[in-house]
Amino acid sequence: MKHSPLQKARALDALQDLRKHLRSPQPTLHIAKTTASTMAAEQAEPAPTQADRALFRMAAAGVRPLCRAEHAAPPGMQPSPPEAIPRQHERDEQAVLREAMSDELDLDHLLETDATLSWRRDGIGSDTLRKLRRGHWTIQNEIDLHGLRRDEAREALGQFLRTALQREWRCVRVIHGKGLSSPLREPVLKHKVRSWLMQRDEVMAYVQARPSDGGAGALVLLLRSARRAERG
Question: How sure is the predictor about 99, in pLDDT bands with cuts at 50, 70 and 90?
Answer: very low
Tell me the C-alpha distance between 175 and 139, whole Å: 13
Contacts of 147 (CB under 8 A, 6+ apart): 177
| Full residue range of the structural domain in which residue 139 is found | 116-225
CATH number for position 131: 3.30.1370.110
In this prediction, residues 135-150 reach a mean pLDDT of: 94
Q: Is residue 157 part of a domain?
A: yes
Among the listed residues 188, 184, 110, the one whose alpha carbon sits nearest the alpha carbon of residue 147: 188
The pLDDT value recorded for residue 139 is 97
Q: Is residue 72 part of a domain?
A: no
Q: Is residue 161 part of a domain?
A: yes
Decide which of 118 and 59 is more confident.
118
> Is 80 exceeded by the pLDDT of residue 159?
yes
Among 9-23, 26-40, 95-109, 198-212, the range with the most confident prediction by mean pLDDT is 198-212
The CA distances from residue 1 to 4, 10, 12, 141, 171, in Å, are: 10, 17, 18, 149, 153
Q: Are 223 and 210 in contact (CB under 8 A)?
A: no
Q: Is residue 121 part of a domain?
A: yes
What value does the CA radius of gyration of the chain take, rounded to a whole number of Å? 50
Q: Is residue 133 part of a domain?
A: yes
- Is the sign of the CA dihedral 192, 198, 202, 205 positive or negative? positive
Among the listed residues 188, 181, 178, the one whose alpha carbon sits nearest the alpha carbon of residue 208: 178
Helical spans, DSSP H, in the chain: 5-23, 27-44, 50-59, 86-100, 126-133, 150-166, 188-198, 226-231
Q: Are 208 and 197 in contact (CB under 8 A)?
A: no
The pLDDT value recorded for residue 119 is 95
Q: With residue 206 as reference, give the H or E element that holds it.
A: strand 203-208
Angle, to 10 degrees, between the axis of helix 188-198 and the axis of helix 150-166? 40
> Is 50 exceeded by the pLDDT of residue 111?
no
**In this prediction, what percent of the chain has a pLDDT beyond 70?**
54
Our count of domains for the chain comes to 1
Q: Is residue 164 part of a domain?
A: yes
Q: Is residue 197 part of a domain?
A: yes
- B/e letters for 14-36, b = 16+ CB within 10 Å, e = fewer, are eeeeeeeeeeeeeeeeeeeeeee
In this prediction, residues 152-157 reach a mean pLDDT of: 96
Q: Is residue 135 part of a domain?
A: yes
The pLDDT value recorded for residue 112 is 45
Contacts of 132 (CB under 8 A, 6+ apart): 118, 171, 205, 206, 207, 220, 222
Q: Are 157 and 196 in contact (CB under 8 A)?
A: yes
